[in-house]
Amino acid sequence: MKSSTSWCVALVLAALCGRGSLVSAQESGQGALTEQELLALGVEAYIYGYPLVTMETTRRVMTNVAAPEGTHAPSNSFCACGDIRMRRSEM
């Protein structure tokens, strides 16, 4: 389910980017974009949009609690993540 949401958002971004380029290309008399150009545009939109969607999903999951518990806490709150120690090799 979460994966399909990410894909949907990425496709919407790609469609919006492609739509703007398509309109500007048609207005300037260059004609429609080719399939390769649309694919490249979709890939760029996915690369740009996927981290944003992932970050927002993570934020919502981590802050969807009433009180701090474990590694989750409401927005503008701190949570105790337990005893985190560095190994000697990492110092």
Contact residues for 48 (Cβ-Cβ < 8 A; gap 6+): 13
Amino acid at 63: T
CB 13 within 8 A of CB 48: yes
**pLDDT tens-digit profile of 27-81?**
555 778 899 999 999 999 999 999 999 999 999 999 999 988 888 889 988 777 6
CA-nearest of 63, 73, 60, 61 to 81 is 73
Question: Read out DSSP for 15-42?
Answer: HHHHHHHHHHHHHTT--PPPHHHHHHHH
Domain-embedded: residue 12? yes
Domain-embedded: residue 53? yes
Domain-embedded: residue 83? no
Structural domain for 52, as ranges: 2-65
The pTM of this model reads: 0.51
**pLDDT tens-digit profile of 16-29?**
555 555 455 555 55
Number of domains in the chain: 1
Domain-embedded: residue 36? yes
Domain-embedded: residue 72? no
Domain-embedded: residue 58? yes
